[in-house]
Structures are given as C-alpha cells and as structure tokens.
Chains A and B, each alone.
Chain A
C-alpha cells in the first residue's frame, strides 16, 4: 500500500492543488497499485508523516501560512525533514517550496526562518516590484525531451544554494526569480516548484516519476509502469505551449 501524504489540505490548497493528489492516486489505481491518500493537518498526529511513501504540499496564503508555520515548528517539521533526508519522494509547490528553504526575507527586511531542509532562500523584491504571474513552460533534466506546462503566481524570488540543483530550465515565464532562468529545485527525491496549474494532471510524466520513486523506495526494487492513455493531457499541454511559444 503506497501512502500518499497530503500535508495541510485545508490550509495549503490555494491553486487547485488537490489535482496533484488526485492524479497520483488515479494513476496508481489505474495500474492496480494499492494506494491511500492520508490527509495530515493541524489536529493530526505528526508521526503520520513517518509512514508517507510520497508527499504533497501546496501553496497557501499568508495568513494560512502563518498557522502552518507554527504547526510545523512544533513537531511535524522535524519528521518531514527525516523522511525527506531518507529519500521519500515529494512535490512541494509555491508556499511549501519556499517554507522548506532556509528563510524568507520580507519586504520590510524581517527574516522569517524556514524549515531549513532545502538549501535555498527566498526574498521579497520590495513592495513596488511586480508579482510573477503567467503561464510557465519549462524543461526538466528529469524528463528529457518534453516540455512541461503550468502557471505561476508568486512575489518571492528564490535563490538556490549548492546542495540542491534546479528542477528545470525556464522556456517561457519567470521561474525561481525571473533572473537566472531556473525553475524549482531537486533535492534527493524531493521536487520544489513554483509551477502550479495544477502541475501533475497536465504533466503525467512527472506524476509517474514520483510514483516510480515511491515504489522503488518502499519495495527496494526497480519497476516499470504500464502506459496509460494520456491523449487529453498531451493536448491540453500542447495547446498552451503552442500559444505561449
């Protein structure tokens, strides 16, 4: 049984994020891989995180993020770090991506410490700078030969340290900071990104990558996933890539 841990579904699901969880579960079920979605939020036992085989955490608004930060600091953050370091695969979008880094430096200079799991930091460009909003097209070395498509909407500019590598190269859009052409990061089997949309439904190859990693990690063996019919997914993606490029 593959356990899909969905962290803070009631607080960190701003941009249709549940689509990512639905996709992971559906693509496993279609292949007869037993799976279960475990929702973990404020009231839940932090140790549930230790049983996760694949993790998803989405974006939040500022107020909700504050509530989550407090909860993570008081227990769940420690377990999350453990499983990420062990190589449990996961996808962390927008707010989650930022908060798992070292810190967030707000417009007024206040430094909000993060969980310090990923070697990266995020800073606000100042109140006058524009939010980075729009369709985002990227190419990832994890999935050579294809372009991934999604949407981004963030103020923070993220800069990567040496212990992580970029998830993708920006083809169209802004990505991590709008300057260095990188989008997201990879650390062990964890992926952090700004791309929502949600990311996985329209980019099923990435969903499959996470599924593969979770099976390999849990059962310690190499497997091959059977092909599914992804006609609509590809058409949806091709449409937006065609329009943007």
Chain B
C-alpha cells in the first residue's frame, strides 16, 4: 500500500515540477517517494525482473557512456530508459523510476541504463542488484566532497563482492588498481582498455592516483601510458601486469567523439555489445554514427555564426583529456579559449586541482585566453605560470560576449567550464536572448 502511495505522490511531483518548469533534472519526485517508502527502488525492480539494469560508474565519462549505451540499445529496438544528467544520486535514480513506471510500478522496459555517482554507488547497487556494472575509471575528483580515491575504491569493491554470481562486470583494465581488484571478483567479467599503439605517453604524468603496485606496493613500470595512471603497466617486483584487455583495435570501429577518453568510453560500450548482447560490432559501429554527444560534452553550439565547442572539465584527469581532444579537433590551427572556474557545491569548493592541469598541452593552439567564473583570479594566477597573457572577467556574460566578438566567423572557440559554469554558459548561449 505504502509503495503505491509513494508512486502516486511521486508522480504528482513529476507533474508539478514539469508545470512549474523545474525541468527534467528535478529530483523532488524521487525524494518524496523515498520519504514515503524507503524501499521503493528495490520494490520496483523486484516487480520487473524482465528489465535488465546496467549501472555505469566512474569519475569521468558516465554521462557520455550512459547516453551512448542508451542510443545503441534504442537503435537495436530495445525499450530503454536512463536517468538524466544530474540525477545520479539515490533520489535521482528513484525519480527516474517514478517517471518511467506506471501506477502499479511496471516499467515496460527491456533495459534501464543508470549512471551512478561515485558516492551513491555502494548503496544503489545494493538496492538495484544490477545485471551489468561498468567501471570506467577512478581519478581524484572534488576531494572536499568525495574524499580520497582509495576510500572510494574500497567502498566500491566491498559493495561489488556481494553481487550475485550471474552479474556481468565490465572494468577498465588499463587502470592497475581497478584491474587488480576486478580480478578478485567471482562474477563474470570483461576488462577493456585501449591498444598499446594509442598510448603515447612515455613518462608517468603527475595527475595520477595509483602508480604503485596494488599487490606489493612497488613503483610500477609503464611501457607507455594513455593518460593519468592508465597504461601498459607491469611490476618488476612481483610480476603483476596488464593482460587480457579488450581494445577492439582491429575492428574498424567508428568512434563518435574525439580524444582517447572517448575511446575508453566507447570500448566499454563495445565490451557490452560483444560479450553481453553478443551482437556483431559492425552493427554497433554503424549505430554510433548517428550518436549526438550529451550536453556540455564536446557539444557543438552555433552561436552568432561561430562554432563553439563546450567541453565540461571538472578534475585534472578529465581536464587534461579535454585539452588533448581540443588538440585533435584543431590539428595545427589556433583558436580562442574561454576557461570558466566556479567553486560551488557541484564543482567542488576546493580549486587547488587546477594546479594538476597541464595547460601547456594546448600551448601552441592558443590565440587568446579569456578567463571567467567565481574563481577567475585563481585561474589567472595559474596561467601566469604558463607565461600566457590572459583577459579576466568577473562577469561571465561579458566574457562570452567579448570572446565571441573577437572570434572570426570561420574560427573556432572552445569554452571549458566546470559543472555549474557549464550550465550558466549553456543558458547564455541557448537560453533567453541577450545583448
């Protein structure tokens, strides 16, 4: 009884939030349903054994991977739903369930693809008992909010150990820490990564979290690395090494997004396609051609006839990968850049991480650097040490206006914001008309 009531009230809130224009990201429906019935998530899934649940976790790439999986499954003819951006906490997931079920709690879907926040992961997989879990990566991110990465990792592995034997795990094997711990699981598992030929770094960069052998604590050797601590590692002391990695290198896959991080996300989806769905990868590759990136993730926006690329970047590993993707997009051309740094709750209040970003990656591609955001002068100090002249703005609208005016119609403009800044920038570019 309580369950139906929680659904009913939840649905009422869905109706109200759409009426009040609170948007799809609203997590109120889930919040109130959970208040009424704390077990509503478990109950919905117990009622819908035919709906397979895929959980996507990791520091970076969750939203892109979730949306690529949803796109693939949809095009293959499955009925599928996902949680939207920003709804990856427990109440966000329950909001998604309220929206996608009928009054009796039936889901009428073949797949639920759910991205899950690092912190909510353990409690959610306990509730959801997923059929498939994808672990994309684990990097330092918003330490003031999430805490240390080792702590996050231990909580993940503890929760995963209790999943049923039939669960299917798809794990990034280029990460020595995830590979080592992943191997301990009794469930079915696949390790994905990228081919050695794509690993271009010879020296260990400094935005790393796990470069000591997870087995014997000796410093790992890397033949080469793709980024952060992901690479072809081995331990000279105990023999621990990378092996059995699926990289799909010989398959002639169409990769819908730029950058090595996107190859990782796509390879996670391909692992699912080949080993879980058991489909021909040619079909998957063909379907990828019609994929449009999730908002803010290498999103292209045409604004006053200028082509603007929006690349959400919120931690060192992700930021450095964004910069490498920019390099690929630009090849040897130059462009204007606007970096926006906020320090609100969803961005992380500690901005010290910008010192682990290698802005030098795009050194040769920079025409002019514009800076904005709550912590614009912290960025300015950071750029001073790259010996780059910058233009600073305390007002974001003004910054966007100026950088757009200074960008020739045929030139490109890259806007690289933190999370809350990305929402603000999109509102300026796509929202109500201004100026």
- Chain A residues packing against B (C-beta within 8 Å): 9-11, 13-19, 22-23, 26, 41-43, 61-64, 66-67, 131, 133-135, 151, 153, 196-198, 201-202, 232-233, 235-236, 239-240
Contact = CB atoms under 8 A, between A and B. Distances in A.
Given A10-B211, A151-B144, A201-B381, A236 B375 contact: yes
B148 interface: yes
Contacts of A236: 375, 377-378, 380-381
A232 B352 contact: no
B430 interface: no
A202 B350 CA distance: 13
Contact of A153 (B143, B208, B384): B143
A14 B355 CA distance: 10
Contacts of B382: 19, 201
A62 B148 contact: yes
Given A18-B356, A63-B150, A67-B217, A10 B350 contact: no
B147 to A, nearest CB: 8
B377 A235 contact: yes
The 6 closest A-B pairs by CB, nearest first: A16-B355, A236-B377, A19-B355, A16-B352, A232-B380, A235-B377
A14 B143 contact: yes
A43 B140 CA distance: 24
B143 A15 contact: yes
A86 B356 CA distance: 32
B329 interface: no
Contacts of B374: 239
B212 interface: yes
B349 A232 contact: no
B206 A9 contact: yes
Nearest to B371: A232
Contacts of B143: 14-15, 153
A166 B214 CA distance: 38
B352 A13 contact: no
A74 B354 CA distance: 34
Contacts of B144: 133-134, 151, 153
Given A196-B352, A197-B352, A202 B206 contact: no
B219 interface: yes
A96 B208 CA distance: 19
B380 A239 contact: no
B204 interface: yes
Contact of B148 (A19, A61, A198): A61
Contact of B380 (A135, A151, A235): A235
Interface of B: 140, 143-144, 147-151, 204, 206, 208-209, 211-212, 217, 219, 349-356, 374-375, 377-378, 380-382, 384-385, 392
Given A16-B353, A153-B144, A232-B380, A239 B204 contact: no
Contacts of B375: 236, 239-240
Nearest to B211: A10
Nearest to B316: A16
A239 B372 CA distance: 13
B349 A134 contact: yes
Given A201-B385, A236-B377, A22 B206 contact: no
A201 B385 CA distance: 9
A42 B377 CA distance: 36
Contacts of B217: 66-67
A66 B212 CA distance: 12
B352 A151 contact: yes
B149 A61 contact: yes
Nearest to A237: B377
Given A26-B385, A236-B380, A239-B375, A10 B354 contact: no
Contacts of B350: 15, 133, 151, 153, 196-197
B252 to A, nearest CB: 38
Contacts of A196: 350, 352
Given A64-B212, A202-B381, A232-B380, A10 B356 contact: no
Nearest to A64: B212
A153 B148 CA distance: 10
B385 A10 contact: no
Contacts of A233: 377, 381
Contacts of A131: 147
B206 A13 contact: yes
